[in-house]
Amino acid sequence: MAKEHKAANAAEANETAADAGAPLASDRSAGAGLTDPADDAAAQHKDDGAARLSSSVGDYLKAIWLLAGDGVAGTGEIARELGVTAPSVTAMLSKMSGAELVAYEPYRGASLTPAGRREALRLVRRHLLLEMFMVTQLGFGWDEVHEEAELMEHVVSDVFAERLAKHLDDPEFDPHGYPIPRADGSVPVAPTMPLAELALGRRFRVHRLMTRDRAVLAYLESRTVEPGAELVLRSLEPGGNLLHLEFVGIGNGARGRKLALSRELASLVLGENLVE
């Protein structure tokens, strides 16, 4: 992992250095000067006619959205999400602020501008549609698709993304329960209560898994903790750090099965408290 982070930091430093002399103010749209030269030939295929932002900048925009939505994502949070150093994040956010993609406050973090939000939602939409396609049509496990979608989201066109959405019957959520932004920029509303906050004896429907960690996803999937599953909290261990749950009211064959889940893992499972 350390080698991967080191390589990511080196690649980002090279890209930042290469872009250092590029103008950041846009004469046509926010983000000029932050485009990837390797994408220039492909940019003509984009249906909005805008130059494609570099994949690194796109990753930052997407990370800010996934971490904070319309709020402020901290520098440290972004660094952990992308596996880069805090100084690298500071340098990139300063550059993106000059390009009017983010509103950056030193020592606090960054939020998306309207232009940054539009691009972030386009990337997230592509990414989650690709994940849905791979799981439902190609037989990928839901713990396998994130890395594959990362490779493809920057190179598919908006036309392809919309054809893909139509093929999938315009899904509102991806296999992990993440809301898929709509083409008009709106975002489906999803329950946000963590399973870890469920009261004793109450019933809970799983909607979303707040992790991209392959090991965690594979663990939860193997125990049928997935969107649509319903559980009741039967008891807590002394200290409250282990939740003893029972599957109820689901059609996946797990009804009546018992499950013990740590509070840490339960905090990653979002859904809704059901009124019986």
Distance CA(193)–CA(269), nearest Å, equals 8
Decide the pairing of beta strands 203-209 and 269-274. Answer: antiparallel
- Whole-model pTM: value is 0.73
| Residues 211-234 pLDDT 10s | 888 899 899 988 889 899 999 999
| Residues 60-84 pLDDT 10s | 999 999 888 899 999 999 999 898 9
Distance CA(97)–CA(86), nearest Å, equals 16
- If you write DSSP's letter for every residue of 84-102 in order, what string do you get? --HHHHHHHHHHHHHTTSE
User: Average pLDDT in the 78-103 region?
Assistant: 93
Q: Which two tokens stand for residue 269?
A: 């499972």
How sure is the predictor about 22, in pLDDT bands with cuts at 50, 70 and 90?
very low
Distance CA(257)–CA(255), nearest Å, equals 6
Residue 195 one-letter amino acid:
L
Distance CA(58)–CA(25), nearest Å, equals 17
Instruction: Please check the confidence at residue 179 and state whether its pLDDT lies above 60.
Output: yes
Domain with CATH 2.30.30.90 in the chain: 193-274
Q: Which fold is adopted by the domain 2-115?
A: Arc Repressor Mutant, subunit A (1.10.10)
CA-wise closest residue to 117 among 35, 54, 31 = 31
| CATH 3.90.650.10 given to domain 193-274 | no
- Backbone dihedral angles phi then psi of residue 206, each to the nearest 5 degrees: -70, 135
Lowest mean pLDDT, pick from 18-22, 59-63, 128-132, 145-149: 18-22
- Residue 47 has a pLDDT of 42
Domain with CATH 1.10.10.10 in the chain: 2-115
